[in-house]
Structures are given as C-alpha cells and as structure tokens.
Structure 1
C-alpha cells in the first residue's frame, strides 16, 4: 500500500511474458530543475510495452539489459510539482506527456512520473484522461513520420495498418495536410477510415498490394507509411523516387528505384504534442483497467483485434 511518500509502479522483473510484470512500492520521484511531476490519471498500453517486457528491445540493442525495467510511455494526469526552471506549466494543470527513455527504472505505469517539461503539453480540452493518454506516442509517431515523407499538398500516400492506433492518426493527419490517402485495412474498418478522410480502402487481405494500389494510382503512390511492417510489399506500391517510412523496428527495405527510406524513431516533443492536442483528433479507447491489472492488459493486447488502445487508470 502506497504512503504519502511512496507510490505504486509496475515494472518488469527480468524479461518474459505478462507474468514478468510486478506492482511494487517505490519512492515518489523528485522532479529535476526542468521537470514536472505528474500525478498519473491514465497510462496507455502500447505494443512497445510488450516488446520491452519480453526483452526484445534489449536483445535488439535498443536498451541495456536490466534486472528491473519501467514500463509505459503515454501519460495523462495532473501536474503535482514543478522544478524551479519550469515556467510553462503550473501545479494543478492537466497535461499529457511522453516518456521516451527506454533504459529507465520507472515508466508511465505508476501513480506518479517525473518528465522533462519539454516532453509535456496541456491536455486536450474537455477530453477524459483515458482518451487523452492515447494521444502522445501514437499521434507523435504518425506526425513525425509524415514529416519524414515531406509530401506537398495534393500528394498520394499509402498507410498500411490504417485501422491501428498509429495508422488511424496517420490517415487523419495526412488528410489534414491535403494528401490523398489509400488506407490498407480490413474492409470492415472502411466506414471508419472514410470518416477520417481516406479516399481509397485497400483490403489488407489482398494478395498483391502493389498491383491494387497501382490500379488506383497509376505509377504508384508518392509515399507509403508502413505501420504494419509489410516492408517490400508496401515499398512496391511507391512510385520511382518516392518516399517510404516505417514505424516498426528491424531492418528497413533497401532503397530500390531511388525511393527515400526513413525509419521513424519517436522523440518526445512537447510543442508538437500541444499542437496535436489542439487538433481535435479522433481518440479511441478499447477499454480501461486498474493499474494492478497491467498483465491482463498485456494479454488482451497480445491477442490482437483491438480498435484503439487499452488504458491503465491508477
């Protein structure tokens, strides 16, 4: 049971399945001079959390192996304390933020989290914390990937995994940038994606994605954002000297036909996050669970089929 000076946090002890997650009592973090301490109201469960817990990120060399690892990137909550150098936020203010440091003892699955002020933004107005918490990691990933593609208004872009959390934001943000979007998804998700502004729905079960795209867009799309990890299958749908961005790990495709290849590695950006929070984006919560049921949340996410994100509510 947490006391006035301690809090609950979920960590991974070693690596393994959901059973590696453990709820522990630890001291409440003290914010540094340029940090804010956030009382967590909601923390999103993302695929990267499962990869962290399983040890995949350590095995890939993205973080040093640890005996205990903090879990969780996204947070929505209330500013509890501020460091002396912080002027942009005030105690009691509702905020959202992103913890992008993999090699850390504590993550967002906790009662409190200390974040750099540059990783925090005002929470979207009139939005429940559980929904607001789904914004930082996934929307920033989509926005930063679109920045890498660097398309002019009127361009065409394929978004794979368009019904997923990153994919849905990518479709919506691309449309708002004046792009024509081909959404690769299950046909059952077509009506939702069309509401987001997708111009074409391409069945994710297709045997030849490139052929289907080229029938819609002769010569191929100007760019592809690959959130589903299709690799060369999505690359083949891009025109010569186009652009390709992947948000998944592993080795990206070879830059065939002069196509620019980008691999998005997310970085916290409070200014960009504030803009996204003010954009009235479509937020999707697949369900909420209490903090101590983090392992169950990981099991549900691993099963797949969710639309939106599961959220832990300390």
Structure 2
C-alpha cells in the first residue's frame, strides 16, 4: 500500500509517499480501508519535527502522518465488535506511529473508531477537531465562554458545541470571518485586531466564566476571564499561569468511541457541521500540506487515496 511518512522532519517538501506492506490488526484492533483523511496543523508540526522538539514523542526513523480517517472496516482482530464492511470514522491519537491515516489502509484500536453513515469526505473532517472541542467544553462550567480562533477547525466546533449546550458564546476571529463565525452560532463577535480583554468586558463586565483558547492567545485572552474562572489551553509546552485564581486546564485529547459516536449523532441531528475546504489525491499530499502551511484555510483539506 501507499503511505505518507516523514523521515527528514523538514516540513512538506520532504514528505515521502512510500510503498509498504498492508498492516495487520492485532487483538482489539481494526484495519480500515481509507476513503478520506483530513490534514490538520498537527500534521504540519510533526512533519517539521516539532513533536520531537517539544518532547511529545521520542525520535524515530519514520513518523506516520494523519489523525482523522473515514473509510470501511477491512479486517478485525480478536475481541472486536465491528464487522468488515462497516463504514466508520476514526482517530489516530498516537504521535509516534510509523504509519497513520494518510495511507491506503490504517490499523486503529477499536475503541478509537465509530460507525457512521455519512459521506466519507465530510466525515473525515470531524474526529480530531470536534473531539478536541468536545473535551475542552467538558472541562469548563458556567454560562459564558470565550472562544478564540473561532473560524478554525477546533474553534468552529467549540462555538457550535457550546451553543448546542446552551452557553452564551463570545467568539474571536479575523475581520473577514465574522459572517462565518456568526453562522456557526456565536452570540457576540470580537475582531482579532481588537483589544480582546477590553472588548469582551464591554459585553460581560465581570469577564467570561471560561475561555477555550483555540488560537493560543494565552494570557492576553485570560484577561477576559473573570476571577476564579477557567482557561482551557490547547497546546503542548508551558501553560499560562493561574492568575486571579483562574484554573488552567491543559488539554491533551484522547480518542474514544463514546465521543466519536456522540459527534456523529450531533452531525446527523444538524447541531454541528462538517467543513470540507478542498480535496487532494494522496499523491498530491505535499501540495495540501503546503497549502495548509500558508494559512487562511477555512475547513479541512482532505486527502483521497
């Protein structure tokens, strides 16, 4: 099979599409014939060596790429309750795998896979971004939430999920993204160019109950949070300080079928959306990576084997 890997860790220009044996599922695992796999910023980071640099994974000769996948179960190991032919989405949440979802086949633990009837290209845009947003919102309480980077993958889902939960959402993004962010459900929009804390406190004078910092603004965004509020930090490395008794939760997502199933159901109910920006054949993966690296992509770029 063909699989996209990073060996030199120098970014998109050094990615390699290799021929490698089709992997076999062990006990508790499934093999998926990949129909579509989204490209995410974390894939760029891994290809550039940042995961090793930040100590998130050990150096190795080869890194597989791709977290999201949609496709069809092709084979199963013992103890698995899914059958070949089942359409699924899945999430490969281990950084250090030598083969991941940007390939023709991928093996995942069965708990990281959920059945779906959605179009696979659309479905492949859900797992990583939406599960991150879902788990971030589970880490907070209160009625008002500030979402930074609200036009991006994680931020957009955080807005939609927060509105579905009945929260009041203040969202920040670029000036050109206001219409999109409001369509996603934001109650209030703050331009990224504005003084964030001042603008938010004009809406909620005491400050918001919680911050989901998808854009990694850091302390500048935390100034918009009330004393004793909550800050969910979505990046590895040093986390912001606990100023004014604000609880800072550094989130590291984990794949699980319960959350993936919930997200599928929310899409089917129209509560959250799928966002496909563009599709590329697997052999043009480097082009997709370079496009993502330029920035400004709204939705996900999706690879088709």
TM-score bin, normalised by smaller chain? over 0.9
CA RMSD, aligned part only? 0.9
Selected match of 2:260 from 273, 276, 286? 273
Selected match of 2:101 from 80, 100, 108? 108
Mapping of residues 188-267 of structure 1, within 5 Å:
188-206=176-194, 208-267=195-254
Mapping of residues 111-122 of structure 1, within 5 Å:
111-122=104-115
Instruction: Give the total of aligned pairs.
Output: 301
C-alpha separation between the residues in 2 aligned to 1:277 and 1:303? 30
| Aligned twin of 2:133 | 142
C-alpha separation between the residues in 2 aligned to 1:108 and 1:148? 28
Matched, 1:282 2:270: no
Give CA-to-partner distance per residue, 1:178-221, whole Å, 9 cap, x none. 10000101233222222222110000111x20010000001100
4+ residue runs over 6 A deviation:
none
Matched, 1:41 2:11: no
- TM-score normalized by the length of structure 1: 0.94
Selected match of 1:96 from 89, 104, 124? 89
C-alpha separation between the residues in 1 aligned to 2:45 and 2:176? 28
Which stretches in structure 2 are left out of the alignment for 5+ residues? none
Which range moves more in the overlay, 241-250 or 222-231? 241-250
C-alpha separation between the residues in 2 aligned to 1:250 and 1:46? 19
C-alpha separation between the residues in 2 aligned to 1:192 and 1:47? 20
| Aligned twin of 1:18 | 12
C-alpha separation between the residues in 1 aligned to 2:64 and 2:153? 22
SS state of the match for residue 279, structure 1? helix
SS state of the match for residue 278, structure 1? helix
Which stretches in structure 1 are left out of the alignment for 5+ residues? 1-6
| Aligned twin of 2:172 | 184
Give CA-to-partner distance per residue, 1:145-188, whole Å, 9 cap, x none. 11111x14xx0000000000100000000011110000101233
Selected match of 2:59 from 58, 62, 65? 65
